[in-house]
């Protein structure tokens, strides 16, 4: 069971850890996440030397290589400010696995301290910012996909839907496979492409059957996988990172 996290008052400053997929494929999602935080009166610090959290190597069984990548991130956050991550998978790696990855090493204490300051973006917006939203978009039926890491590692199945529920013109439709993996799973999609393709086909069928005209997610890996499959199927259903969706409808 995921331990209950005690949430602090809204801070004046936060760090933002952008993730590789945001950096390389979805920079606007990162910028929109920062815009949402700044609109709440929070100063956002983006350490320019940040790279990968180390998750791909870690989940592939290469702990030494994962530590070599992850250790470079530990020194990026010297102040005691919260560290906001627009991804449940990277957030889960840093909050749940960093203490395990560095256990028994000289970096154990620092890794544990950093892990205690990790917040996934939707979690922070709901539980720390208590975000209020004024929906300026038209009526739309939307499906939410919560990544496995956000749902199971971080216990954040409800934060994305809670944010969407604040949009008065948005109807959140429930897909029957809401709790199932989309098939991305980081390197899983590369190592087992046929299984991954079957899983994402199940996911796209469920979203379409729910009557959604769009889906949103808080993880760019899932976004890439599901949106790519919809594009291949030419269904006309598009995906968006929840940060961009929230910003677009409220700005």
Check pLDDT > 70 for residue 220: yes
* pLDDT for the residue numbered 60: 92
E strand segments, 54-162: 83-85, 118-120, 140-145
Closest CA to 90 of 56, 125, 64, 113: 56
- Alpha-carbon span 9 to 7, nearest angstrom: 7
What average pLDDT does this structure show over 204-227?
A: 97
| CB-based contact 42:11 (threshold 8 Å) | yes
Calculate ∠ Cα 221-200-29, nearest 5°: 25
Check pLDDT > 90 for residue 197: yes
How sure is the predictor about 190, in pLDDT bands with cuts at 50, 70 and 90? Answer: confident
Q: Where are the domains of the chain?
A: 13-127, 140-250
- Alpha-carbon span 18 to 89, nearest angstrom: 12
* pLDDT for the residue numbered 6: 85
E strand segments, 18-62: 43-45
Buried b / exposed e across 179-196, counting CB within 10 Å, b at 16+? Answer: eebbbbbbebbeeeeeeb
How sure is the predictor about 4, in pLDDT bands with cuts at 50, 70 and 90? Answer: low
C-alpha to C-alpha distances, 99 to 52, 88, 114, nearest whole angstrom: 17, 17, 9
- Alpha-carbon span 184 to 190, nearest angstrom: 8
Q: What is the pLDDT of residues 25-80, one digit of tens each?
A: 999 999 999 999 999 999 999 999 999 999 999 999 999 999 999 999 999 999 99
CATH number 3.40.47.10 given to 140-250: no
Q: What is the pLDDT of residues 123-181, one digit of tens each?
A: 999 999 999 999 999 999 999 999 999 999 999 999 999 999 999 999 999 999 999 99
């Amino acid at each position: 069971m995921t331990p209950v996290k005690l949430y602090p008052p809204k801070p004046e400053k936060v760090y933002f850890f952008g993730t590789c997929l945001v950096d390389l494929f979805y920079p606007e999602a990162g910028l929109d996440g920062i815009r949402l935080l700044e609109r709440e009166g929070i100063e956002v610090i983006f350490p320019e030397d940040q790279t990968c959290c180390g998750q791909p190597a870690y989940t592939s069984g290469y702990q030494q290589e994962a530590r070599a990548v992850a250790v470079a991130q530990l020194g990026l956050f010297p102040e005691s400010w919260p560290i906001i991550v627009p991804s449940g998978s990277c957030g889960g790696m840093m909050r749940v696995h960093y203490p395990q990855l560095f256990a028994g090493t000289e970096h154990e204490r620092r890794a544990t301290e950093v892990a205690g300051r990790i917040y996934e973006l939707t979690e922070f917006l709901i539980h720390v910012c208590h975000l209020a939203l004024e929906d300026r978009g038209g009526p739309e039926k939307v499906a939410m996909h919560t990544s496995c890491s956000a749902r199971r590692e971080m216990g954040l199945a409800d934060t994305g839907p809670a944010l969407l529920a604040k949009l008065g013109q948005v109807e959140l439709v429930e897909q029957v496979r809401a709790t199932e993996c989309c098939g991305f799973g980081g390197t899983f999609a590369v190592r087992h492409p046929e299984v991954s393709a079957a899983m994402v086909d199940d996911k796209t069928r469920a979203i379409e059957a729910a009557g959604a005209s769009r889906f949103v997610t808080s993880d760019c890996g899932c976004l890439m996988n599901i949106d790519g499959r919809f594009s291949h199927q030419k269904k006309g259903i598009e995906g968006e990172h929840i940060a961009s969706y929230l910003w677009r409808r409220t700005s």
